Structure formats: structure tokens, C-alpha cells
């Protein structure tokens, strides 16, 4: 899970999920699963199902790349620039 800029809330959660082979799920199922297990503000606003994650040579997920990808895909570059200013 990573945070991306949001006009109203400042930041919202995006979850990237890699499903096991042969399994299926929906965004709604993921959100329903999270309810009652984590704080309401940590429940992902957006869910993306992926085949693989961008990894470092030591096998860690590169969250900064996920964040960059989501910002670009959702056209949030101007909001992201405001965050760093």
C-alpha cells in the first residue's frame, strides 16, 4: 500500500495486489475484507491487481516506483508537485 495525493483529503491509499494463480477478487471484496481489521482511513481508495512488483536487487518492493506510477496514471502530477513545494 502506498499513499497518493488527493485534493480533498491530502492523501489516499492505493493497494497493489498480486493474486495467487487461479484466484480472483474485486476491489469491493478487498475493501470489505479490510473493514474492521484496519483503521477506516487505511482502507484503500484504489486497488490495482498486478502480475508482479518492481523489486530491488535484494528482493524488496520499490514502493516509490508504485507511487510514481499511480501519480502518472491518475494525472496527479500537479498535486504531487504541491506536496514537495
**For the segment 5-47, what is each residue's pLDDT rounded down to a tens digit?**
999 999 999 999 999 999 999 999 999 999 999 999 999 999 9
Q: What is the CATH number of the domain that holds 25?
A: 3.30.300.30
Measured CA to CA, the distance from residue 74 to residue 66 in angstroms comes to: 12
pLDDT computed for residue 79 by the predictor: 85
Under the banding of pLDDT at 50, 70 and 90, the label for residue 82 is: confident
pTM reported for the whole predicted model? 0.86
Tally of domains within the chain: 1
Under the banding of pLDDT at 50, 70 and 90, the label for residue 85 is: low
Residue 65, domain extent: 2-84
Measured CA to CA, the distance from residue 37 to residue 79 in angstroms comes to: 30
Amino acid at each position: 500500500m502506498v499513499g497518493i495525493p488527493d485534493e480533498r483529503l491530502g492523501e489516499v491509499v492505493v493497494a497493489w495486489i498480486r493474486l495467487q494463480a487461479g484466484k480472483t477478487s474485486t476491489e469491493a471484496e478487498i475493501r470489505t475484507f479490510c473493514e474492521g481489521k484496519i483503521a477506516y482511513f487505511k482502507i484503500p481508495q484504489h486497488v490495482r491487481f498486478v502480475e508482479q512488483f518492481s523489486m530491488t536487487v535484494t528482493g524488496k518492493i520499490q514502493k516509490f516506483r508504485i507511487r510514481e506510477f499511480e501519480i502518472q496514471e491518475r494525472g496527479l502530477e500537479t498535486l504531487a508537485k504541491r506536496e514537495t513545494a
